[in-house]
Chains A and B, each alone.
Chain A
Amino acid sequence: MGKKAFVIDVARCVGCYSCQTACKDEHCGNDWTPYAKPQPELGAFWLRLEEHTEGTVPKVRMHYIPRLCNHCDNPKCMAVCECHAITRHEDHDFVIIEPEKCCGCGKCSEACAYGAIYMNQELKIAQKCTGCAHLLDNGFDLPRCVEACPTEAMKFIDLEESAEETEGAVVLKPEEGCKPNVYYKNIPGRFIAGLVYDPVRKEIIEGAKCRLLTGGRRRETTTDLFGDFWFEDLPAGVHDLYIEAEGYAVKKLEGIRTQEGKSVNLGDIAMDPAEEESLPTAEEWEKIKEEVAMGKKTLYP
């Protein structure tokens, strides 16, 4: 058995909590010493499903991120453990807190960058996901969370055999340098969305061209048959939006902020009619020419 990893496709997670439930089913009320003592029924989530709701009515989207121990290559918990209770499983590389060695000092819990270690107040030990090592070592082929996932959003892979599964995936907080073995795909960035309409005719405008400028980067889309546009997977930052549609004045919406991790629904955006371009009268034209000749004005700005 080689080194293992979890690969989680966030775009395929419906938020059913079966993973969190299966984890509790395996570990609450069941004692798997030396791998783990029971997980408390309340307050501990060795696998915790994290909910994210983005946007405002009616442009709202959700995604869920299953959070568990990252079984890091550079685990901070192991580094701070003074009683050598945190070891690496020889076969699949899981990071295990051995309950019989743990002194309950809580340093590992503080050190973990991911909040994955829970202190069991009753047993006075630190606890977390074991990768269901007790099962894998005794005839099972999958950790319980992975097996319970109905959409197969969670995968459990052998890193040597199927390294390609992690292609395009990210790890959480790479800056911490822990080198996690839990990979995520399709964690969405922020979005900017809205609906474009004509307030006079009371009609949506289909096919309006929407340009979004972020620093030097330019993104483009057009409104769909509901008048909607979506710019998805945006980084945090400040954006300028320009909406153009034939017969309407260009709409400028500048300084849209997706900082603080917020997506933005611009709501229903009313387009104004293009200004009537009336030709100058002969008298006005003479005056303009004069000004151009004097260098006060350029004809083609």
Chain B
Amino acid sequence: MKAVKLDVKSVDRRIKGTSFLGMDGGPPVSVDVDKGRMVRLRPYRYDQKRSMDSLSPWKISAKKLEFGPPKKSLPSNMGLSFKTRVYSENRVRYPLKRVDWDPNGERNPQNRGKSKYVRISWEEAAQLIADELKRVNKKYGPEAVLVEADMHAEGKHIYCSHGNQARLLSLLGGYTLQMRNEDSWEGWFWGAKHVWGGTAVGEMAPMINLYPDIAKHSQMLLFWGCDPETTPNAIAGYMASRLCYYLHDLGIKAVYVCPDLNYGAAVHADKWIPVLPCTDAALYLSIIYTWLDEEIYDKEYVKTHVVGQEEFFDYVLGKEDGVPKTPEWASGKCGVSEWTIKALARAWAKLDTSQIIGNGGGLIRGPYSHEPARLAAIALGMQGLGKPGHHQAKMIEWNLDDKYGPMPYVSDVTTRLPGFSDLVRPFDLKRQTYFKVSDEVAEQALKLQGPITAKNTEGPEIDLGAFATRKTSVRGNAGLMELMKYDEHGPIQSIPRCLVAQAILEGHVDWWGLLTFCGPTSQQWLHFHYPAKDCSRIHMIWTDAPCNITCWNDGFQFAKAYQSEEIECIVAQHMTLENDCLMADIILPIVTEKEMGDICEDDGGGTFQAIYRTYPCADPVGESLNDFEAVARVARALGEDYYENYTKSRVWENDEEKLCEMFYSATGLPEKGHSYQEFIENEGGVHFLPRSDIYEKTPAGLFEFYVNPEKYPINTPSGKLEFTSTALKKYFPDDKERPVHPKWIEKGFYHDENISSERAKTYPLLCVSNHGHWRMHAQCDDIKWNREVETMKIRCKDGYQYEPVWLNPIEAQKRGIKHGDIVKIFNERGIVLCGAYVTERLRPGAAYIDHGSRFDPIDPNGIDRGGAINLITPPNVSSKHCAGMVVTGFLVDVQKVTDAEMEEWKRKYPDAFSRKVDEGVGLCLKGWLTEKEPAPGEIPDSPITGAQKEG
């Protein structure tokens, strides 16, 4: 054929973000738009409008090989396929009300998760919510409303995904805050902090200049519970993939320690050591034993850089409990042969070695996750942490608190706005928290933190590092900061997210720590109670983060809590009908970031740091609104006064351009001579931040501490690495499950999830559940293009696309399971149906399933078809003083689902099986609507029909 001149619809090109993290914009994409509809999403090409040199790319060089940013952005697969999600059959298209929830009659809380929905108007929905808020407030007080508004979502800024309802509720006198618990860095926060202080989240600090140093000096990298081809994707795209190849080309050995041949190991590993899930503490102890036994560790360093080593070494050598932690001892627990343990120990001692992490991973998200995390820090310490080539480095959130290193991460211009972009982002610059601790807790804090000074009269001082509000933001636009302020009635009661279900079901709960989701070690000594003094228990929930069932601990317990009589009304606002939405009484439809205009920044992509103005790329689907506007409807229904105050005298109304300009000025760029006008004139609003060379001049990681620990102490009470924690000795000397120095906890009061357990006779497999490869936690389960890939979903014989559960052929054969069979993964907590994925990518003794698959209740009290594995994760927190969650490394069994069993369920739960399931998307809106369809024309049937705005 001949070339044909064709309108390929590429004239209207807009820049958009792809992050699912909620604060960063993520790697940008170019979106071609035609008549209110997205045509295509492509990587942003840096070199098309300018030369690469003009961007002054960063560079790493070692051994004559160079590494730097490519000529295009590296958005994730999920970012590139977002079109399917905008037009997904799973979208909430208009406000919904649960059919048998009657605020003036029967509320039927027991039917949450079972009964369907009817379409209502925005006016009716807003009025229902307003009336409930007034009633609940009057009857119980403001704290009776729980705000669930933390964690990830698309990167939206001027109208943020999270916390808008909190803004409104503060005008009603307050609320109870669901406090985000440490998620994805549990072990580092509750454990490693006691060894090395570290960052706000407990990872090694500082992180500056690590990869240039690793490239030059490291000989071996231990990817321990780390998947560089998964965890970074939805936040940072594929810079990690490129970096892994570069490090490989330099001849650095990549050793992966994880039960599964994860996606990184599958293509990058030189050596895979498949450890049994969450038995890493035993493996570490035996490595340390080998070093002690053979005297192959940095003895001089330990003498000068460490405190509390004798006590810890005595434990390792068996002097404390009579059990030397030998490779033989460990082998039976962790499933790695004695000879491989010794070889690993010797290789680590011989080669310049760094540990690579991706925040979480199985290593630090299981039972007692503080133990392996502390041991990781200690092991690095024994081999001279801070020495060239000896670090802990991240493959995500490049350098975290350290802005340039050299891949750019958050900087001074990042619009870290208070209490808004993420609810738990702190408001008060001095206190770095907007959560007002109760008098009782404030008193404790004062006692713990020494003499009363002006700075701690209101509570402890918290350094939130990268998560804190920037001074630049305050300086850049004081007016905007004023708009953001809404803490006159900030919450005085909170519940950690991992304890919300327990709080509802038992009516009370207590915990230590968690003043904010990260911060200094000192907050860990604070003891909290729910209900707080003079506060009501919760009776209403308003969530904009409806994924506790599929992302947190013991999801079936959450489902039960949401069915409680105590909870009279649940409101959810979300773009898609999924997970906790199915437990809600009222659901509000929300737009995706692609349907709104915004101002974003690429903070974490690792290529070039940029601020960019984005414009809507699609008409809003159905009647969906942005989160801010959705809550504004409720404010209006409460009364004009509320609306005036919520919008700060209408300054914060639907004026995208004005807000973008305000947010732009909060970056501080106008101060530096880059006006908004100039910004907008460049490609409609793109500004690349200049590269900083700070990293080149800064010693890598803990090098200064390595050279002179007295002059450059680390952030621990002693200023040194604490193999036995001086602080834990002081505050919790008798804690058997997080002892003063790390131990192997075979079984304890809080968890009994080991293969030596009695329970293992019934549930013999240890479940590994990583961050999803095809999802960002609960986001993106409905991308139909990916659902055809077998590691994402397996279409089984009944045509349903099941979440895959990986099994080694040995375990599959024992159970008569074949690849593609419908199976159940289960324990005492319930049953989750899956599709069997039989593979050599997993060791025997384990079952592997990603978290975040959507909840499709057959019975919301015990049987799920959607593959939401967190339904059966352990209920308890990490351990007594550690309010973390346990979402991997727990006991299960997997068995084939027989036809008879399935038929029995179908007989018993006919409604669950009769819900419509879309062939490509799976669970969908239509499946949850009552039979009575709205009149034709009322529903925008075609997924790409434009907005049906109210009159």
Measured CB to CB, the residues of A under 8 A from B are 12-18, 20-22, 24-26, 28-30, 32, 34-35, 41-43, 45, 49, 53, 55-64, 87-91, 96, 98, 133-135, 137-140, 144, 147-148, 150-152, 195, 197-198, 202-204, 206, 225-228, 268
The 5 A-B pairs of least Cβ separation, nearest first, read: A150-B238, A62-B266, A137-B3, A150-B74, A204-B343
Q: With A and B bound together, what is the CA distance between A218 and B355 in angstroms?
A: 38
Q: Does B481 contact A (CB under 8 A)?
A: no
Out of B2, B6, B7, B80, which one reaches A21, CB within 8 Å? B80
* Other 14 A-B pairs with CB < 8 A, given A16-B241, A150-B70: A15-B267, A22-B80, A29-B83, A60-B841, A62-B267, A89-B2, A89-B3, A147-B42, A150-B74, A152-B70, A226-B340, A226-B344, A227-B343, A268-B339
Find out whether the CB atom of B785 lies under 8 angstroms from the CB atom of A28. yes
Q: Which chain A positions have C-beta within 8 A of B84?
A: 41
Q: Which chain B positions have C-beta within 8 A of A206?
A: 343
* Closest residue on chain B to residue A98 by CB atoms: B1
Q: Which chain A positions have C-beta within 8 A of B74?
A: 150
Q: Which chain B positions have C-beta within 8 A of A16?
A: 76-77, 229, 233, 238, 241
Interface string of B54-85 (1 = CB under 8 A from A): 00000000000000001010101100110110
Out of A43, A57, A198, A268, which one reaches B840, CB within 8 Å? A57
Q: Which chain B positions have C-beta within 8 A of A152?
A: 70
Q: Which chain A positions have C-beta within 8 A of B41?
A: 25
Interface string of B234-245 (1 = CB under 8 A from A): 000110011001
Find out whether the CB atom of A57 lies under 8 angstroms from the CB atom of B844. yes
* Closest residue on chain A to residue B228 by CB atoms: A14
* Closest residue on chain B to residue A40 by CB atoms: B920
Find out whether the CB atom of B786 lies under 8 angstroms from the CB atom of A137. no
Q: Does B497 contact A (CB under 8 A)?
A: no
Q: With A and B bound together, what is the CA distance between A209 and B480 in angstroms?
A: 70
Q: Does B271 contact A (CB under 8 A)?
A: yes
In angstroms, how far is the closest chain A Cβ from the Cβ of B90? 14
Q: Which chain B positions have C-beta within 8 A of A204?
A: 339-340, 342-343
Q: With A and B bound together, what is the CA distance between A140 and B841 in angstroms?
A: 40
If the complex has contacts A61-B266, A150-B237, A150-B238, are A17 and B789 also in contact, measured as CB distance less than 8 A? yes
Find out whether the CB atom of A226 lies under 8 angstroms from the CB atom of B261. no
Q: Which chain B positions have C-beta within 8 A of A17?
A: 77, 786, 789
Find out whether the CB atom of B339 lies under 8 angstroms from the CB atom of A151. no
Find out whether the CB atom of A150 lies under 8 angstroms from the CB atom of B40. no
Find out whether the CB atom of A138 lies under 8 angstroms from the CB atom of B5. yes
Q: With A and B bound together, what is the CA distance between A26 and B245 in angstroms?
A: 29
If the complex has contacts A32-B6, A134-B6, A151-B242, are A226 and B343 also in contact, measured as CB distance less than 8 A? yes
Find out whether the CB atom of A25 lies under 8 angstroms from the CB atom of B40. yes
Q: With A and B bound together, what is the CA distance between A21 and B785 in angstroms?
A: 7
Would you mind naming 18 contact pairs between A and B with Cβ atoms under 8 Å apart?
A13-B267, A14-B241, A35-B1, A42-B788, A42-B920, A49-B789, A57-B808, A58-B273, A60-B840, A62-B841, A87-B1, A90-B2, A90-B3, A147-B72, A150-B70, A204-B339, A227-B343, A268-B337
Question: In B22-54, which residues have CB < 8 Å from any A CB?
Answer: 39-43
In angstroms, how far is the closest chain A Cβ from the Cβ of B351? 8
If the complex has contacts A41-B920, A62-B267, are A203 and B339 also in contact, measured as CB distance less than 8 A? yes
In angstroms, how far is the closest chain B Cβ from the Cβ of A124? 20
In angstroms, how far is the closest chain B Cβ from the Cβ of A210? 17
Q: With A and B bound together, what is the CA distance between A29 and B841 in angstroms?
A: 35
Q: Does B350 contact A (CB under 8 A)?
A: yes
Out of B237, B242, B271, B338, which one reaches A202, CB within 8 Å? B338
Find out whether the CB atom of B919 lies under 8 angstroms from the CB atom of A150. no
Q: Which chain A positions have C-beta within 8 A of B269?
A: 61
Out of A30, A53, A197, which one reaches B39, CB within 8 Å? A30
Measured CB to CB, the residues of B under 8 A from A are 1-10, 39-43, 70, 72, 74, 76-77, 80-81, 83-84, 229, 233, 237-238, 241-242, 245, 261, 263, 266-267, 269, 271-274, 327-328, 337-340, 342-344, 346-347, 350, 784-786, 788-789, 808, 839-844, 919-920, 944
Q: Which of B70, B271, B339, B920 has the most CB of A within 10 A?
A: B339
Q: With A and B bound together, what is the CA distance between A239 and B839 in angstroms?
A: 25
Q: With A and B bound together, what is the CA distance between A138 and B5 in angstroms?
A: 6
Q: With A and B bound together, what is the CA distance between A201 and B790 in angstroms?
A: 43
In angstroms, how far is the closest chain A Cβ from the Cβ of B36? 14
If the complex has contacts A16-B77, A138-B6, are A227 and B339 also in contact, measured as CB distance less than 8 A? yes
* Closest residue on chain B to residue A25 by CB atoms: B40
Find out whether the CB atom of B229 lies under 8 angstroms from the CB atom of A150. no
Find out whether the CB atom of B786 lies under 8 angstroms from the CB atom of A151. no
Out of B43, B350, B808, which one reaches A147, CB within 8 Å? B43
Find out whether the CB atom of A14 lies under 8 angstroms from the CB atom of B229. yes
* Closest residue on chain A to residue B338 by CB atoms: A202
Find out whether the CB atom of A34 lies under 8 angstroms from the CB atom of B4. yes
Find out whether the CB atom of B238 lies under 8 angstroms from the CB atom of A151. yes
Q: Which chain A positions have C-beta within 8 A of B343?
A: 203-204, 206, 225-227
* Closest residue on chain A to residue B792 by CB atoms: A17
* Closest residue on chain A to residue B944 by CB atoms: A29
* Closest residue on chain B to residue A225 by CB atoms: B347
Q: With A and B bound together, what is the CA distance between A90 and B4 in angstroms?
A: 11
* Closest residue on chain A to residue B331 by CB atoms: A202
Find out whether the CB atom of A55 lies under 8 angstroms from the CB atom of B840. yes
Find out whether the CB atom of A96 lies under 8 angstroms from the CB atom of B241. no
In angstroms, how far is the closest chain A Cβ from the Cβ of B818? 17
If the complex has contacts A25-B83, A35-B4, are A148 and B43 also in contact, measured as CB distance less than 8 A? yes
* Closest residue on chain A to residue B267 by CB atoms: A14
If the complex has contacts A57-B844, A147-B43, are A140 and B266 also in contact, measured as CB distance less than 8 A? no
In angstroms, how far is the closest chain A Cβ from the Cβ of B345? 11
Q: With A and B bound together, what is the CA distance between A22 and B920 in angstroms?
A: 18
Q: Which chain B positions have C-beta within 8 A of A197?
A: 337, 339
Find out whether the CB atom of A151 lies under 8 angstroms from the CB atom of B1. no
In angstroms, how far is the closest chain B Cβ from the Cβ of A31? 10
In angstroms, how far is the closest chain B Cβ from the Cβ of A150? 4
Q: Which chain A positions have C-beta within 8 A of B233?
A: 16
Q: Which chain B positions have C-beta within 8 A of A226?
A: 271, 340, 343-344, 347
Out of A34, A55, A148, A227, which one reaches B42, CB within 8 Å? A148
Q: With A and B bound together, what is the CA distance between A60 and B267 in angstroms?
A: 10
In angstroms, how far is the closest chain A Cβ from the Cβ of B165? 34
* Closest residue on chain B to residue A63 by CB atoms: B267
Find out whether the CB atom of A57 lies under 8 angstroms from the CB atom of B8. no
Find out whether the CB atom of A58 lies under 8 angstroms from the CB atom of B42. no
In angstroms, how far is the closest chain A Cβ from the Cβ of B289? 14
Q: Which chain B positions have C-beta within 8 A of A14?
A: 229, 238, 241, 263, 267
Q: With A and B bound together, what is the CA distance between A225 and B891 in angstroms?
A: 34
Find out whether the CB atom of B919 lies under 8 angstroms from the CB atom of A42. yes
Find out whether the CB atom of B342 lies under 8 angstroms from the CB atom of A140. no
Q: Which chain B positions have C-beta within 8 A of A138?
A: 5-8, 10
In angstroms, how far is the closest chain B Cβ from the Cβ of A21? 5
In angstroms, how far is the closest chain A Cβ from the Cβ of B835? 16
Q: Which chain B positions have C-beta within 8 A of A32?
A: 6, 8
In angstroms, how far is the closest chain B Cβ from the Cβ of A94? 9
Find out whether the CB atom of B267 lies under 8 angstroms from the CB atom of A139. no
Q: Which of B77, B274, B844 has the most CB of A within 10 A?
A: B77
* Closest residue on chain B to residue A230 by CB atoms: B270
* Closest residue on chain A to residue B220 by CB atoms: A225
Q: With A and B bound together, what is the CA distance between A20 and B790 in angstroms?
A: 14
* Closest residue on chain A to residue B37 by CB atoms: A29
Q: Which chain A positions have C-beta within 8 A of B920?
A: 41-42
In angstroms, how far is the closest chain A Cβ from the Cβ of B512? 39
Q: With A and B bound together, what is the CA distance between A151 and B240 in angstroms?
A: 10
* Closest residue on chain B to residue A96 by CB atoms: B1
Q: With A and B bound together, what is the CA distance between A296 and B141 in angstroms?
A: 108
If the complex has contacts A21-B81, A24-B785, A60-B840, are A30 and B347 also in contact, measured as CB distance less than 8 A? no
Q: With A and B bound together, what is the CA distance between A29 and B40 in angstroms?
A: 10
Q: With A and B bound together, what is the CA distance between A49 and B790 in angstroms?
A: 12
If the complex has contacts A13-B267, A57-B274, A226-B340, are A25 and B843 also in contact, measured as CB distance less than 8 A? no
Q: Which chain B positions have C-beta within 8 A of A28?
A: 785
Q: Which of A14, A22, A45, A197 has the most CB of B within 10 A?
A: A14
Find out whether the CB atom of B841 lies under 8 angstroms from the CB atom of A18. no
